[in-house]
Amino acid sequence: MIDVNQIVSSLERNYILKLLKEGKRIDGRGLFEFREIKITTNFSPKAEGSADVFLGDTRVMCGIKYDIGKPYSDNPDQGVVTVMSEYVPIASPMFESGPPREDSIQLARVVDRGIRHTNCVDNKKLCIEPFKAVYILFVDCYMMDYFGNLTDAAAIAAIAALLSAKIPGAKWEDDEAIWDGTINPITIHEIPLSITFGRIGETIFTDPNLSEELIMDGSIAFAVDEKKQITSIQKYGSATWTVDEIMEISQKAIEIADDLRKKLNLRQYVRK
């Protein structure tokens, strides 16, 4: 959770708390209702794939680039997917220019785990020649407007960008990788989604907006794959969660992810 100096007035805070106790939200949503999600892909002609995602007013752009390099020694026949996130200063008065923020690095790791632990990308198909050359995919996420819940928005942007991406095919010849004349989509096996729950007092809710995020005690994000399995969990803040609460909201995360996946139909963004 972002360390902020912005102050929410006691009047607004008390109003938010009152609504939450009544099962309502300051923006009119139910406790477990997501804001509207809008997705545009392939907006960047310079990227192999790209996605522009709005989660309510929160906006995340993601671009896919690639390089060819040597594989890791423990996975000599697998390509590499690496995630980066950047908090663009114009996204919020709370973001400043300079070295990567700690929460920016953490966000990239959370999105990366969601992709990696679900076997989202077929890394073996990113291999050009075992031990010699593989594709290295760079998933670059840019936080353009911050109005709460960057984690879920970035996760959607990363997956949509990967689905929309195409990279040149290559073959190994004369001890080097050369273009084989084809342009191919990236093979995606699973479409993970991140579902974040916020907590204020005893009230738990999904997709916190900015006002809620600034006053909440903490949050927890679940990565859920298409097989309805939770593949990673990330806890933020000082809030404590009982085992029963974790079990209950993990099941809720699976239900919400399944519903969102049907509504978003992310595979429509695969570039032919």
Average of per-residue pLDDT across 95-120: 88
Q: Is the pLDDT of residue 92 over 90?
A: no
Average of per-residue pLDDT across 115-134: 96
Cα–Cα distance, 120 to 139 (Å, whole number):
13
DSSP 8-state code for residue 121: B
Under the banding of pLDDT at 50, 70 and 90, the label for residue 272 is confident
Q: What pLDDT is attached to residue 4?
A: 45
Domain boundaries of the chain, sorted by first residue: 12-269
Q: Which of 149, 182, 189 is closest to 60 using CA atoms?
A: 149
Strands 49-55 and 58-69: antiparallel
Report the Cα 78 to chain-centroid distance in Å: 22
DSSP 8-state code for residue 33: -
Q: What pLDDT is attached to residue 5?
A: 41
pLDDT tens profile 47-62: 999 999 999 999 999 9
Under the banding of pLDDT at 50, 70 and 90, the label for residue 167 is very high
Q: Which amino acid is at 59?
A: R
Q: What pLDDT is attached to residue 1?
A: 41
Torsion of CA 261, 263, 267, 272, to 10 degrees: -170
Q: What pLDDT is attached to residue 94?
A: 78
Longest dimension (CA), the chain: 71
Fold of 12-269: Ribosomal Protein S5; domain 2 (3.30.230)
Q: What pLDDT is attached to residue 228?
A: 96
Q: What pLDDT is attached to residue 9?
A: 82
Q: Is the pLDDT of residue 91 over 60?
A: yes
Q: Is the pLDDT of residue 7 over 70?
A: no
Q: Is 64 exposed, middle or buried (0-12, 13-18, 19+ CB in 10 A)?
A: buried
Average of per-residue pLDDT across 108-124: 96
Q: Is the pLDDT of residue 96 over 80?
A: no
Under the banding of pLDDT at 50, 70 and 90, the label for residue 6 is low
Q: HSE of 119 in the Cβ direction (CA atoms, 13 Å)?
A: 8
Under the banding of pLDDT at 50, 70 and 90, the label for residue 271 is confident
Under the banding of pLDDT at 50, 70 and 90, the label for residue 2 is very low
Q: Is the pLDDT of residue 225 over 90?
A: yes
Q: What pLDDT is attached to residue 240?
A: 93
Can you say whether the dihedral through the CA atoms of 174, 177, 179, 184 is positive or negative?
Answer: positive
Mean pLDDT taken over the chain:
93
Cα–Cα distance, 12 to 27 (Å, whole number):
12
Strands 176-185 and 166-173: antiparallel
Average of per-residue pLDDT across 240-247: 96
Beta strands in 48-187 (DSSP E): 49-55, 58-69, 80-87, 127-129, 133-145, 166-173, 176-185
SS3 154: helix
**Where is average pLDDT lowest: 64-78, 84-98, 176-190?**
84-98
